[in-house]
């Protein structure tokens, strides 16, 4: 992967904010701009030349009881089992685009695991730990960054959990 996909000073504002956050915590890998959107896990994986499962997708829910954002960071190949998540954090509601932007500071498709406007309740898909490294959104639908699942857990403080729907046999 070439780091020249985007010049450091050419990052969109939200992606630059993430790059600054990552630098501030000593993360040594750059924010990379994809030539095409990374809005879906499949699009991001195609642009990065990795498997869909190596995409750490950020999915925001709204906890009904207190309107707190719930961030599930899941393997791109998994569908999140809302019942499993709700059993851990409380009844979930849908998070519309306005809720996502207000609570995270990011648009849907670019929600980064860190740097949220409102601290979310977080769960981290245990399946991500099958991979040496994963790619997470960096604040913009075209921006991603690489890290290990262990680094992701350390920087988010997220509880590692089984959040995936069972695959039908």
Contacts of 113 (CB under 8 A, 6+ apart): 56, 58, 71, 73, 122, 136, 137, 152, 155, 156, 158
For each of the domains in the chain, give its residue range(s) and CATH number, in order of start: 6-161 (3.90.960.10)
Q: Tell me the C-alpha to C-alpha distance, in Å, between residue 63 and each of 89, 93, 167.
A: 8, 6, 26
> Is 164 within 8 Å of 127 (Cβ atoms)?
yes
pLDDT in tens, 91-137: 999 999 999 999 999 999 899 999 999 999 999 999 999 999 999 99
pTM: 0.90
User: What CA–CA distance (Å, rounded) separates 48 from 52?
Assistant: 10
pLDDT in tens, 58-100: 999 999 999 999 999 999 999 999 999 999 999 999 999 999 9
């Amino acid at each position: 992967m070439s780091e020249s996909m985007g010049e450091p000073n050419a990052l969109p504002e939200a992606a630059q904010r993430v790059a600054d956050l990552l630098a501030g915590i000593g993360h040594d890998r750059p924010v990379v701009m994809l030539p095409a959107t990374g809005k879906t896990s499949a699009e991001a994986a195609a642009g990065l030349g990795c498997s869909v499962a190596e995409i750490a997708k950020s999915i925001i829910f709204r906890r009904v009881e207190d309107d707190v954002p719930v961030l599930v960071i899941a393997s791109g190949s998994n569908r999140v089992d809302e019942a499993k998540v709700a059993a851990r954090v409380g009844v979930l509601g849908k998070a519309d685009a306005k809720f996502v932007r207000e609570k995270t500071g990011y648009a849907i498709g670019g929600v980064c695991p860190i740097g949220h406007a409102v601290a979310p309740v977080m769960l981290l898909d245990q399946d991500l730990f099958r991979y040496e490294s994963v790619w997470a959104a960096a604040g913009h639908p075209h921006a991603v960054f690489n890290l290990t699942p262990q680094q992701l857990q350390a920087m988010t403080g997220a509880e590692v959990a089984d959040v995936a729907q069972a695959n039908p046999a």
